[in-house]
Structure formats: structure tokens, C-alpha cells
């Protein structure tokens, strides 16, 4: 992951698979050609009298290709280093020392690649950790060994030199070459890298403009056209282009710009032009290398920070998608449970009426059979309407509301519960005032609340003496209050706080959804559902619904048990 800290439990980079022989030969040819080309370019600019090049990117080429394609390219790296030593080093050191230099360079490449792969280095350089690993391991392993081999070979070649100073210049030249060349090769030649796309600016106009500006600014700075006093401040003008590229363009554009600007700066300085050419051999070399190293480090770090930020945003987006999916699954589960809960009562009524029809048909009581069939049909319509409304809820559609007669709603609910009341031996008392003003709401939803509350009250009162449930309607201000009481044992105090939470139930076989659904339905109508244990015993549930026409309602009078 981007931004993953370096811990003791390091993830090892998977081993590079062995390529077919043809592919291996082609990659070996590419390594030898690039290695020889950059070595030749480095030796063109050798201001040091002991033969220390201004920059030495050959080690970086070997490290990059061995990292990308595995240790199978080490023989090609050895061949390339030996070819360079044979052509260039034999003039400065004996054959044995040249061979020793070649072996040490190869050891630096092999050790650097082995350490980076073992530490979980990613060639994409999309983490600050990867940039730090490349520079740290490259500086301490590959470049340090190559510089030590070069200084050792020159010293044994009979030259009078300061070994420490020579090693320092060799190390700076090797490290600068590694910082300029290796990131570009890793990002451009990685076979597993995603396709190159334009940056967030859109299109290729901005990358092309940045390349043009970088070439023009660096070319002017390290040309004979400008005096050193003007060229020095201009040498920092390339920094904004690199920084903008790191923040707005693909990483390969940034590493390419770093390589191009570094190549122009080193070539111009080697030819004696630019602000660092007249500073003196050691001072100018170190100053130029320091500026190029700072340029490369800044660009790579900013690009890695940007990649980590984008990766973090992508992880956050995926996490939100997973949470949304989990929420949808949870909602689907609750919806399924709610559907099962809400369909249970009308289906039980349908089953009861169907059994009654069979008994009446067997006894030849056809007139009563017709009435029971009508109730059975009403139960099936109610079940179908329940399914339709739950589907509307799942799709985000609000069910239509109508003007409701509270007394009619209550009597329809009583008719649905009549078989269940008879089976349980529970007596239902209705207290309905006359002239109740109408309500605005969804009939099925209001009836569902009453069914849920009355069914719970029946279960609580069953087997008690007396086994009684009471439904009372009472006008309070501009609202009509529905009060359901029972003669059961009451609500356990420890359950009272979580009474209306989904799946919170203490009844065996209960889903714990009835009261939660009832509360949501009441609140959707602008009311409030509450519960308490009255002093006389049992439990009391009450909910209020706004009246459509707030006329005075006479005092309640019992209508008798049903």
C-alpha cells in the first residue's frame, strides 16, 4: 500500500519469472548497449586529471535492468562492464585492476538489486518508501562499491592521488548518474506498468509544453550564449517545471524530464559552458552534482507523495463502496425480515379463513361461506398491498396518502384479528369516540401499526386472568392518540431502553422488528410512538397522528368487547 511504513515484517517482492531465451537475449543486448552508451557519454566529459568522469550512469543502467528482469541479466551486466573496462580503463590501470573494478561494479549491481528486492521495493516508485530505498541502497551498496572499485583501480595504476577525495568524486558521479538514469529506466521499461496516460490536466498539451520548456531553459543555461552571472540563477528555472510535472503528470513524464535536464546540464558543463564550468574542477563538479541530485530527489519525492495521496483516495473510495454495499446488504436483510414479519399476520388470517371455508363448506353453510371468502380475499389483497408498499419503500418511492376514517381502520383491524383473538382466548375492548375527524395517511401503514401493537398485546395477555386487550382513541389537541393496553406482565425494565431498536426482542421466535417498523411508520406520518408500564399493571403503547380537520371530539365511550 502507498504510505506503508517499513517494519520488521517486510513483504518480499515476488521473484521475476525466467524469460524465454529469445527475450533474455534481447534484454541482454539492450543492457549491454545502454551500459556502453552511457559509459561512452560519461567518458566524453572527464575534467578530472585522474580520469574521474563528470557523471557515471552505467551502474544505474545495470541496476535498473537487473531489478526489472531479474538476476538472469547479471552475465550481460558483467559483459558490459568488462567491455567498458577493456576499452577505457586499460589506459589508466593494469589489467588485473581493471578486472577487479569490473567485478566490484558487478557486485554492487547484484547486491543493490538483491537488497531492493528483499526489502519489497516497487519499480513504479509510487511510494516515498520506494524512493528512499532506491537512493539509500543505491548510495550505500551499488554506488559505494563501484566508486571504491574505481578509486582502488586508479590508485593501483600508479597515479598519485588522494584516495578519499577520488573515492568521493567517483561516488558523487556514480550516485548522480544513478539518480538521473535509474528512475527513468524503471518507469519507462517496466513491463508491468500501466499504459501511459495524460496527466490530470487532460490531454498531452501540458506534458509536451513541459518538455519544451525544460529543453529550452536548460539548453540556454548551459550554452555559451549567457554569461555565468545570468546562467546561475537561470539554472534553477527548471525546478518549477519538474515540480509541476510531479504534481500533475504521470511519473514517467517526471523521470524523463529529470533525465533530459540532467543530460543537458552535464553535457554543457563537460564542454565548458554554464554556471558551473568556471568554478574549478572539484567545486564545479560537486556543485553541479548537488543541484542535479536535489532536482531529482525533489521531483521523485513529490511524485511519490502525489501517488500515495491518490492511492489513499482510491482506498477510501473503495472502502466507501464496500460500506455502501454492506449497508445495502444490511438493508436488504432488514427488508427481507420486515417483509416476513409484515406478511405473517395477513397470511395467518388468510390461513384461518381458508380453514373456516373448508369447515363451512363441509357443513353446507353456503351463506356464511360467501362472507368468509370475502374476508379471505381481503386478506390476500392486504398481503399483496404489503409487498407492493415494501417494494416502493425499497425503490425510494413514498406511498400515496389518503383521507382516513379512524373508526373504519380500527374495525378492519379488529376483523383481521378476530380469528386470532378467538384462538388465544383474549377479549378485545374498543373505546371509540363518535365523530372522529379524518386523518391523512396511508391506510395499510396505520393498520399495520395497530396490528403490530395489538398482536403483541394479545401475546402478552394470553393465559392471564383476565386476558384482555384494550384499544382506545382519544383526541389531544390537534392529534388523535391511539392507546393499546393489555393485562400482561408488562415490559421488562432492562428492555425498555432498547425496545424500539431493530432485532431487539425477548420473545422466543421473535424477530424484534415489529416495534421498530411501527415506530418508523408512525414517525413517517408525523407522530410519535412510546411505551410504558402503567401503575395498574400490564403494558401501554400509544402513538399520535395529526388530525386533518381539528374539530372537537366527544368524550370516549366504550363500544363493548369484540
Radius of gyration of the chain (CA): 43
Bridge partners (DSSP) listed for residue 474:
481
Q: How confident is the model at residue 357 (pLDDT cuts 50, 70, 90)?
A: confident
Check whether 33 has a pLDDT greater than 80. yes
Nearest to 250 by CA among 313, 312, 216, 206: 206
For 221, 235, 279, 293, 554, the CA distances from 272, given in Å and listed in that order, are 12, 15, 11, 20, 109
6 pLDDT above the threshold of 60:
no
| Nearby residues of 152 by Cβ (< 8 Å), 6 or more positions away | 97, 100, 101, 104, 163
Please give the Cα distance from 464 to 446 (Å, whole number). Answer: 28
pLDDT in tens, 140-175: 877 777 777 766 666 665 555 566 777 777 788 788
Q: Hey, is 473 helix, strand or coil?
A: strand
Backbone angles phi, psi at 543, to 5 degrees: -140, 150
Question: Quick one: CA dihedral 335, 336, 340, 346, positive or negative?
Answer: positive
Which residue intervals of 190-280 are DSSP H helices? 205-221, 228-234, 238-248, 251-270
Residue-wise DSSP of 313-374: HHHHHHHHHHHHHHHHHHHHHHHHHHHHHHHHHHHHHHHHHHHHHHHHHHHT-HHHHHHHHH
> Cα–Cα distance between 403 and 405 in angstroms, integer?
7
Q: Contact at 8 Å (CB) between 460 and 486? A: yes
Is the pTM for the entire model greater than 0.75? no
pLDDT digits (tens, 9 = 90+) for 456-474: 899 899 988 889 999 999 9
Cα(64)–Cα(448) distance, integer angstroms: 72
CATH number belonging to domain 402-561:
3.30.565.10
Distances (CA, A) of 251 to 62, 182, 497: 21, 13, 57
Residue 481 pairs with which residues in a beta bridge?
474, 544
| Grid coordinates belonging to 221 | 543555461
Q: Which of 496, 484, 475 is CA-nearest to residue 540? A: 484
The domain defined by 17-193 carries CATH number 1.10.1760: yes
Q: What is the pLDDT of residues 227-245, one digit of tens each?
A: 888 898 999 999 999 999 9
| pLDDT-based confidence at residue 1 (cuts at 50, 70, 90) | very low
Segments of 84-219 assigned E as strands:
none
**318 Cβ partners below 8 Å, 6+ apart?**
none
Amino acid at each position: 500500500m502507498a504510505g506503508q511504513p517499513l517494519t520488521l515484517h517486510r513483504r518480499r517482492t515476488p521473484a521475476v519469472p525466467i524469460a524465454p531465451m529469445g527475450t533474455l537475449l534481447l534484454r541482454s543486448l539492450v543492457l549491454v548497449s545502454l551500459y556502453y552508451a552511457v559509459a561512452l557519454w560519461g567518458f566524453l566529459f572527464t575534467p578530472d586529471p585522474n580520469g574521474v568522469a563528470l557523471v557515471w550512469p552505467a551502474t544505474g543502467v545495470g541496476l535498473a535492468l537487473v531489478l526489472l528482469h531479474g538476476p538472469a541479466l547479471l552475465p550481460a551486466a558483467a559483459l558490459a562492464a568488462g567491455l567498458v573496462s577493456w576499452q577505457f580503463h586499460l589506459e589508466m590501470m593494469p589489467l588485473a585492476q581493471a578486472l577487479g573494478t569490473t567485478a566490484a561494479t558487478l557486485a554492487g549491481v547484484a547486491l543493490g538489486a538483491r537488497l531492493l528486492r528483499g526489502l519489497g521495493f516497487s519499480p513504479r516508485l509510487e511510494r516515498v518508501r520506494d524512493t528512499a530505498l532506491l537512493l539509500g541502497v543505491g548510495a550505500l551498496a551499488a554506488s559505494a562499491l563501484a566508486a571504491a572499485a574505481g578509486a582502488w583501480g586508479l590508485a593501483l595504476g600508479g597515479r598519485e592521488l588522494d584516495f578519499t577525495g577520488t573515492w568521493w568524486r567517483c561516488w558523487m558521479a556514480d550516485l548522480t548518474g544513478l539518480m538521473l538514469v535509474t528512475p527513468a529506466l524503471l518507469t519507462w521499461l517496466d513491463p508491468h506498468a500501466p499504459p501511459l496516460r495524460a496527466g490530470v490536466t487532460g490531454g498531452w498539451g501540458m506534458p509536451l509544453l513541459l518538455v519544451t520548456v525544460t529543453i529550452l531553459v536548460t539548453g540556454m543555461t548551459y550554452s555559451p550564449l549567457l554569461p555565468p552571472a545570468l546562467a546561475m540563477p537561470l539554472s534553477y528555472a527548471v525546478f518549477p517545471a519538474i515540480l509541476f510535472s510531479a504534481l500533475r503528470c504521470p511519473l514517467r513524464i517526471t523521470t524523463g524530464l529529470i533525465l533530459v535536464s540532467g543530460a543537458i546540464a552535464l553535457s554543457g558543463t563537460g564542454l565548458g559552458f554554464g554556471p558551473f564550468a568556471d568554478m574549478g574542477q572539484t567545486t564545479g563538479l560537486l556543485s553541479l552534482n548537488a543541484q542535479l541530485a536535489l532536482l531529482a530527489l525533489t521531483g521523485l519525492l513529490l511524485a511519490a507523495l502525489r501517488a500515495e495521496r491518490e492511492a489513499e483516495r482510491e482506498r477510501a473510495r473503495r472502502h466507501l463502496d464496500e460500506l455502501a454495499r454492506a449497508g445495502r446488504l444490511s438493508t436488504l436483510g432488514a427488508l427481507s425480515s420486515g417483509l416476513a414479519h409484515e406478511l405473517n399476520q395477513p397470511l395467518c388470517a388468510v390461513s384461518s379463513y381458508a380453514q373456516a371455508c373448508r369447515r363451512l363448506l363441509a357443513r353446507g353453510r353456503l351463506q356464511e361461506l360467501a362472507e368468509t371468502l370475502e374476508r379471505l380475499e381481503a386478506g390476500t389483497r392486504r398481503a399483496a398491498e404489503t409487498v407492493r408498499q415494501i417494494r416502493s419503500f425499497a425503490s425510494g418511492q413514498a406511498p400515496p396518502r389518503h383521507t382516513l376514517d379512524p373508526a373504519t381502520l380500527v374495525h378492519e383491524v379488529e376483523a383481521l384479528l378476530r380469528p386470532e383473538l378467538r384462538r388465544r382466548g383474549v377479549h378485545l375492548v374498543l373505546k371509540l369516540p363518535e365523530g372522529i375527524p379524518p386523518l391523512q395517511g396511508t391506510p395499510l401503514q396505520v393498520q399495520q401499526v395497530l396490528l403490530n401493537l395489538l398482536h403483541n398485546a394479545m401475546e402478552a395477555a394470553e393465559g392471564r386472568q383476565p386476558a384482555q386487550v384494550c384499544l382506545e382513541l382519544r383526541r389531544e389537541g390537534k392529534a388523535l392518540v391511539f392507546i393499546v393496553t393489555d393485562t400482561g406482565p408488562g415490559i421488562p425494565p432492562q428492555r425498555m431502553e432498547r425496545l424500539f431498536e431493530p432485532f431487539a426482542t425477548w420473545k422466543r421466535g421473535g424477530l424484534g422488528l415489529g416495534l421498530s417498523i411501527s415506530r418508523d411508520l408512525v414517525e413517517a406520518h408525523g407522530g410519535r410512538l412510546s411505551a410504558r408500564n402503567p401503575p395498574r399493571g400490564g403494558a401501554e403503547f400509544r402513538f399520535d397522528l395529526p388530525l386533518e380537520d381539528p374539530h372537537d371530539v366527544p368524550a370516549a365511550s366504550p363500544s363493548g368487547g369484540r
